[in-house]
């Protein structure tokens, strides 16, 4: 499986580290905003090609699939371009920053039949897999999810603290993780409400947001998001259920008493990004729909689109 990666920033390197752990995968091409960064990352990961233009990778006959870790605003158009070039594609979250663009990506996937997967990593983190397995087995039913997504991002910085060329978004990016996960764990969402705080004068986005969700099952979710929170940083999920309480912090899981739960045997790795990439590669090889396919996650973007209309 020969891979091109576009967007060699902080998250792009997480994917490259994961891909190194998967047998039979070759990283062929690195695309980045500057030639210097593309060349440096290509040298680090043994890719024979680098460029500042995605089209250069798409024109290569030694590229089977593309992973997009580019700015949110480019995701939909680039995913469509990949499929038009006959390449399978994994798009980092979010798929798009509008419902119309998300639907256009799904239409292109259905037209081409190629694998198109979206990076909803929470479906793959061992912590959330553990909870999902208990739900599927009928051993646990969610009553409520309480989620906090907190960062300190009053300037355009990426996960490495480096300047970012684009503006991140609480609704279309960070809320997408929880909206999709809640539907994945509790069932289809039938009601959604949102309020937001003041718009940042320079970044032009709301820095604080609160979202309420209700599933067809009756389960509810309360999501608090902030770019103003000066620690602790990250996303923390509390699952309140009929038989247990769980707190998930990325790949780790504890119970309501903060006692660790061993999730090391849930999957072949403890790295959610690697597991996500393994699913992408396996789905292509096996000719099947991946978990977190564009079709599976589109309901999430319908909810986000409805919430955006509310906030207007």
Cβ neighbors of 161 (< 8 A, separation 6 or more) are none
C-alpha span between 308 and 301 (Å, rounded): 10
C-alpha span between 36 and 16 (Å, rounded): 17
Cβ pair 57, 81 in contact under 8 A: no
pTM of the model: 0.95
- Do the strands 142-150 and 220-226 form a parallel or antiparallel pair, or are they unpaired? parallel
Q: Which of 213, 211, 209 has its CA nearest to residue 187?
A: 213
Cβ neighbors of 232 (< 8 A, separation 6 or more) are 150
Q: Which domains does the chain have, with CATH numbers?
A: 2-120 (3.40.50.720), 125-266 (3.30.360.10)
* Residue-by-residue pLDDT tens, the chain, 312 positions: 999 999 998 899 999 999 999 999 999 999 999 999 999 999 999 999 999 999 999 999 999 999 999 999 999 999 999 999 999 999 999 999 999 999 999 999 999 999 999 999 999 999 999 999 999 999 999 999 999 999 987 776 666 666 666 667 899 999 999 999 999 999 999 999 999 999 998 888 899 999 999 999 999 999 999 999 998 889 999 999 999 999 999 999 999 999 999 999 999 999 999 999 999 999 999 999 999 999 999 999 999 999 999 999
- The DSSP annotation for 53-75 comes to -HHHHHT-TT--EEEE-S-GGGH
Report CA-CA distances (Å) from 101 to 1, 44, 106, 202: 28, 34, 9, 26
């Amino acid at each position: 499986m020969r891979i091109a990666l576009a967007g060699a920033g902080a998250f792009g390197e997480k994917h490259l580290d994961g891909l190194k752990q998967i047998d039979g995968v070759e990283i062929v091409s690195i695309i980045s905003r500057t030639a210097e960064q593309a060349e440096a990352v290509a040298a680090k990961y043994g890719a024979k090609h680098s460029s500042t233009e995605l089209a250069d990778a798409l024109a290569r006959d030694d590229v089977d699939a593309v992973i997009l870790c580019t700015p949110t605003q480019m995701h939909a158009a680039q995913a469509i371009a990949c499929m038009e070039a006959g390449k399978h594609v994994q798009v980092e979250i979010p798929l798009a920053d509008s419902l119309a663009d998300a639907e256009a990506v799904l239409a292109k996937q259905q037209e081409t039949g190629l694998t198109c997967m979206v990076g909803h990593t929470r479906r793959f983190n061992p912590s959330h897999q553990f909870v999902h397995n208990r739900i599927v087995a009928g051993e646990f039913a969610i009553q409520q999810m309480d989620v906090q997504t907190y960062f300190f991002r009053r300037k355009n910085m990426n996960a490495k603290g480096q300047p970012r060329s684009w503006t991140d978004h609480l609704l279309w990016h960070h809320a997408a993780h929880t909206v999709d996960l809640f539907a994945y764990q509790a069932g289809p969402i039938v009601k959604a409400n949102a309020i937001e705080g003041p718009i940042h004068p320079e970044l032009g986005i709301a820095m604080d947001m609160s979202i309420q969700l209700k599933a067809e099952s009756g389960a509810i979710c309360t999501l608090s998001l902030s770019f103003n929170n000066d620690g602790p940083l990250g996303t923390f999920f509390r699952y309140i259920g009929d038989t247990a309480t769980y707190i998930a912090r990325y790949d780790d899981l504890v119970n309501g008493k903060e006692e660790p739960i061993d999730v090391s045997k849930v999957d072949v790795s403890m790295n959610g990004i690697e597991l996500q990439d393994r699913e992408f590669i396996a789905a292509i090889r096996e000719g099947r729909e991946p978990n977190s396919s564009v079709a599976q996650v589109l309901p999430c973007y319908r909810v986000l689109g409805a919430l955006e209309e509310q906030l207007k």
